[in-house]
Structure 1
Amino acid sequence: MTGPLDGVTVLDFSRVLAAPLATQALAELGATVVKVERPGSGDETRGFEPRLPHGESAYFFAFNRGKKSVTLDLKDPRGRDVARRLAARADVVVENFLPGVLDRLGLGYADLCGGNPGLVYVSATGFGQTGPDRARKGYDTVFQALSGVMAMTGEPGGPPSKTGIPVADMTSGLWVLVAVLSGLAGRTATGRGRHLDVSMMDVQLSLHALNAARLFAFGEDPVRTGTEHPGRVPSAAFQAGDGGWLHISGSDRHWRPLCRVLGLAGLAEDPLLQDNSGRVEQRDRVMKALRGAIAQHDRDPLVKELLAADVPAGAVRSVREALADPHTVARGVVGEFTHPAEGPFPALRTPLRETAGEPPAPGVPPMLGADTDDVLANLAGLGGEEIEGLRAAGVI
């Protein structure tokens, strides 16, 4: 079964997490993704934990499925020449080197678009192609700190905290994907490619849409609120009597049904609490009453009662619980691939599907350099003697 991006060729110079997440999605949506790696070591995440019994990295598996691996020394002029030949046949280039690095190697957009005017070239960097920090390296948790995301995460009065997932890397990867797809759509309309600039810092700042709205509206610099919503009551996690946690997020129309389920008739009838603004003003009183009432119930039965009353609620699950949920299973969120060294291994599918078809099957992460000969012969047009000469010289 072909995917919607069948026929699109992506030359992937990226490594680690953000941009590889995007190129993995492109691969599992049907694109041919050629991952260019350093001879001998490859993407550094091949050595990251968690390591599997035969030495492969589950970290690498998570972001590099379905790609073809080519080893190529870009420091060698012969390697750069091969890279240019590959780019001449590609629809898309994705790279996450610091600004100017590929330009100095003759592999920047200006170098490649002359021979391939339809090329969509996406540069994914920490701080973008312009600005005083453009040459600064970036890391997920540092972006969380610099952008204000870390300052917003944690309990009131407690220390700042990182998020439970690498949110800077993963949200930036999604914007790399948006950049590729928008570039391809623009090429269809105009016939020309373009150079697209994705800054991880810009992406993190864009996540503050609601926080910035409060800052712009009230001059209020948002602070940590734990699981509570700064502008809505109730919207928070509560501990049930059996020790489990649930999250409730209700609006005005949910207030009375919530109070009925919890036996809080006084609150339900209190005229000061009928709209959200009143509940926000009396947040401490409302939250104390809700916590006390919820502590009298076990988590799962209470969640069922709340859902039956049309109150938005859900158990706070562990990752294991979430992946084993019947709805998750029915949707086929967890798939599997068979790796040549590690054998069968589970994988989270790319979360996009056609309504008439199955979700994309997880691709197989490539062994280092496994596709070098095939790609150089069929995409770059090299002959067998040329390939063997490059191998003998350590270029591939």
Structure 2
Amino acid sequence: MPLTSLKILDFSTLLPGPYATMMLSDMGADVLRIESPSRPDLCRHLPPVDERGTSYIHQTLNRSKKSLGLDLKNPEAIELIHRLIADYDIIVEQFRPGVMQRLGLDYNTLKEINPKLIYCSITGYGQTGPKKDKGGHDINYLAIAGLASYTGTPDTGPMPIGFQIADIAGGSMHSVTAILAAVIERSHNGEGQYIDISMTDAAFALNAMTGASALGSGEVPQLANGVLNGGAFYNHYETRDGRYFSVGSIEPQFMTQLCEAIGRPDLVKNGLKYTPESQAPLIEALTEAFKLQDYQHWCEVFENLDACVEPTLNVIEASQHPQLVERKMVVEVPTLGSASVKQIASPIKFSKHTTKYSFTGCEVGHHNDDIIKALGIDDEHYQKMKANGVFGSSSNQIR
């Protein structure tokens, strides 16, 4: 795989960091999670869970990643990290600013041990600024970044989004991009560097079109007043049996097919003028037309048209759609037992490589023995480290 040469220590939990390192792992990177035996990642227990009590979310986000359970408040555990970064020379962490420094695991300390170290910190607000020490979640970052202000309707106000835009499109994707950019630079000059990823910064940057218009013109975007945010026909329309269809027929050739399909070719001109007066008749006609027929009828109508109209599917339906089936977007990933779990596949297709998924997310410390052996630590010393609580108390040590 393209990233087989990369070895990453992953100190992150929940979603942004783990999704980023999952992407890197899917592309071949060797990812070792450093996990607390006493304070497990909350994603391990998010429902629904399997018969072992392990969340399917955790099993996907942490597939193919090894796990080393360490008590980072133990000085010997810190010494182990110092030894590991000679080989695992990329770090991803997601603590609040200052936490890794208090542990003696900050970039400035570790780069003295390995100058080639690439160190990526993912936080809600970044390492600087008045909010850097505050907690937050996806909804907060989207609010601060301005994205939520024009997502919704005047009746509802800003609406919660069903998936994590700031966490994934902001934190995860930008982290992967930055890490790989730093790897390329290191290949030229032999030097690592520090990467500061703010999910709020990244979410603000996602205002790609609306933000460009607003900053250039000084006009504040409003709820449901644009072409793409509910101010025009571009929307979801309910069928007679309570299902929905997405309509995105912006270009003239698509608009023509749409209007002909609903029996209103006279409205093509309305669809191409983005004023409230022009859009209102088209929106009304689409609303009425879709409600006259069931979901299956409209599936058959638009199946053979190129009108940018598609059914609004649930996730299970999406996984079974011929397009995603053909693209092999659902895979069976083995657990470390005898079973396997269906998971969403990596969406990246390489001509020279086929993605391999080694195993689903494993138990905390599952690879302790292997990692310690690889570091050349003999069994007597290993047992002493266990007794000293390096891997947690005796009650929560996996091995």
Per the normalisation by structure 1, the TM-score is 0.91
Could you tell me how far apart the structure 1 residues matched to 2:386 and 2:372 are? 12
Could you tell me how far apart the structure 2 residues matched to 1:229 and 1:320 are? 26
Letter of the structure 1 residue corresponding to residue 254 of structure 2 = H
Q: What is the aligned length?
A: 389
Residue 184 of structure 1 and its aligned partner are, at CA, apart by 0.8
Correspondence list, 1:7-26, <5 A: 7-26=5-24
Residue 101 of structure 1 and its aligned partner are, at CA, apart by 1.6
Out of 288, 292, 295, which is 2:284 matched to?
288
Look up the SS of the partner of 1:174 in the other structure: helix
**Aligned position for 1:310:** 306
**Aligned position for 2:34:** 36
Could you tell me how far apart the structure 1 residues matched to 2:161 and 2:96 are? 25
**Aligned position for 2:397:** none
Look up the SS of the partner of 1:114 in the other structure: helix
In structure 2, the gaps of 5 or more residues are 392-399
Could you tell me how far apart the structure 1 residues matched to 2:229 and 2:277 are? 11
Residue 297 of structure 2 corresponds to residue 297 of structure 1: no
1:9-65 deviations in Å (ceiling 9; x for gaps): 101111111001111121221111110011244323223322222221222112111
Residue 112 of structure 2 corresponds to residue 111 of structure 1: no
Residue 145 of structure 1 and its aligned partner are, at CA, apart by 3.0
Could you tell me how far apart the structure 2 residues matched to 1:22 and 1:227 are? 32
Residue 321 of structure 1 and its aligned partner are, at CA, apart by 0.8
Could you tell me how far apart the structure 1 residues matched to 2:276 and 2:303 are? 23
Go from structure 1 to structure 2 and tell me whether the alpha carbon gap of 1:104 and 1:325 turns closer, same or farther (over 3 Å shift). Answer: same
Could you tell me how far apart the structure 2 residues matched to 1:178 and 1:261 are? 42
Go from structure 1 to structure 2 and tell me whether the alpha carbon gap of 1:322 and 1:146 turns closer, same or farther (over 3 Å shift). Answer: same
Q: Indicate if the aligned counterparts of 2:271 and 2:279 stay in contact, CA closer than 8 A.
A: no
Q: Indicate if the aligned counterparts of 1:255 and 1:274 stay in contact, CA closer than 8 A.
A: yes
Q: Indicate if the aligned counterparts of 1:14 and 1:94 stay in contact, CA closer than 8 A.
A: yes
1:149-207 deviations in Å (ceiling 9; x for gaps): 33333333214321111222222111111122111111112211110110011111111
Q: Indicate if the aligned counterparts of 2:26 and 2:355 stay in contact, CA closer than 8 A.
A: no
Q: Indicate if the aligned counterparts of 1:156 and 1:225 stay in contact, CA closer than 8 A.
A: yes
Could you tell me how far apart the structure 1 residues matched to 2:45 and 2:302 are? 46
Could you tell me how far apart the structure 2 residues matched to 1:164 and 1:212 are? 22
Out of 253, 268, 275, which is 2:272 matched to?
275
Q: Indicate if the aligned counterparts of 1:28 and 1:350 stay in contact, CA closer than 8 A.
A: yes
Residue 261 of structure 2 corresponds to residue 261 of structure 1: yes
Go from structure 1 to structure 2 and tell me whether the alpha carbon gap of 1:136 and 1:206 turns closer, same or farther (over 3 Å shift). Answer: same
Could you tell me how far apart the structure 2 residues matched to 1:194 and 1:328 are? 38
1:269-327 deviations in Å (ceiling 9; x for gaps): x5xx37334x5552222211222233333334434434534211100111111111122
1:98-128 deviations in Å (ceiling 9; x for gaps): 1122122221111111221111111111111
Letter of the structure 1 residue corresponding to residue 185 of structure 2 = G
Go from structure 1 to structure 2 and tell me whether the alpha carbon gap of 1:256 and 1:94 turns closer, same or farther (over 3 Å shift). Answer: same
Go from structure 1 to structure 2 and tell me whether the alpha carbon gap of 1:274 and 1:334 turns closer, same or farther (over 3 Å shift). Answer: closer
Correspondence list, 1:101-140, <5 A: 101-140=99-138
Out of 73, 76, 83, which is 1:75 matched to?
73
**Aligned position for 1:384:** 379
Go from structure 1 to structure 2 and tell me whether the alpha carbon gap of 1:75 and 1:238 turns closer, same or farther (over 3 Å shift). Answer: same
Q: Indicate if the aligned counterparts of 1:179 and 1:196 stay in contact, CA closer than 8 A.
A: yes
In structure 1, the gaps of 5 or more residues are none
Residue 328 of structure 2 corresponds to residue 332 of structure 1: yes
Go from structure 1 to structure 2 and tell me whether the alpha carbon gap of 1:362 and 1:145 turns closer, same or farther (over 3 Å shift). Answer: farther
Residue 99 of structure 2 corresponds to residue 91 of structure 1: no
Letter of the structure 2 residue corresponding to residue 130 of structure 1 = T
Q: Indicate if the aligned counterparts of 1:88 and 1:112 stay in contact, CA closer than 8 A.
A: no
Per the normalisation by structure 2, the TM-score is 0.90
Letter of the structure 2 residue corresponding to residue 209 of structure 1 = A
Q: Indicate if the aligned counterparts of 1:336 and 1:345 stay in contact, CA closer than 8 A.
A: yes
Residue 247 of structure 1 and its aligned partner are, at CA, apart by 0.9
Go from structure 1 to structure 2 and tell me whether the alpha carbon gap of 1:143 and 1:41 turns closer, same or farther (over 3 Å shift). Answer: same
Residue 384 of structure 1 and its aligned partner are, at CA, apart by 2.1
**Aligned position for 1:198:** 197
Letter of the structure 1 residue corresponding to residue 44 of structure 2 = R
Look up the SS of the partner of 1:39 in the other structure: coil
Could you tell me how far apart the structure 1 residues matched to 2:238 and 2:12 are? 43
Go from structure 1 to structure 2 and tell me whether the alpha carbon gap of 1:259 and 1:39 turns closer, same or farther (over 3 Å shift). Answer: closer
Residue 343 of structure 2 corresponds to residue 347 of structure 1: yes
- Which stretch shifts more, 67-76 or 329-338? 329-338
Go from structure 1 to structure 2 and tell me whether the alpha carbon gap of 1:363 and 1:203 turns closer, same or farther (over 3 Å shift). Answer: farther
Look up the SS of the partner of 1:88 in the other structure: coil
Residue 373 of structure 1 and its aligned partner are, at CA, apart by 1.9
Could you tell me how far apart the structure 1 residues matched to 2:213 and 2:230 are? 9
Q: CA RMSD in A?
A: 2.3
Q: Indicate if the aligned counterparts of 1:227 and 1:236 stay in contact, CA closer than 8 A.
A: no
Could you tell me how far apart the structure 1 residues matched to 2:36 and 2:9 are? 14
Could you tell me how far apart the structure 2 residues matched to 1:274 and 1:51 are? 47
Look up the SS of the partner of 1:128 in the other structure: coil
Percentage of matched positions with identical amino acids: 30
Q: Indicate if the aligned counterparts of 2:17 and 2:122 stay in contact, CA closer than 8 A.
A: yes
Go from structure 1 to structure 2 and tell me whether the alpha carbon gap of 1:233 and 1:18 turns closer, same or farther (over 3 Å shift). Answer: same
Residue 221 of structure 1 and its aligned partner are, at CA, apart by 2.3
Go from structure 1 to structure 2 and tell me whether the alpha carbon gap of 1:46 and 1:306 turns closer, same or farther (over 3 Å shift). Answer: closer
Look up the SS of the partner of 1:288 in the other structure: helix
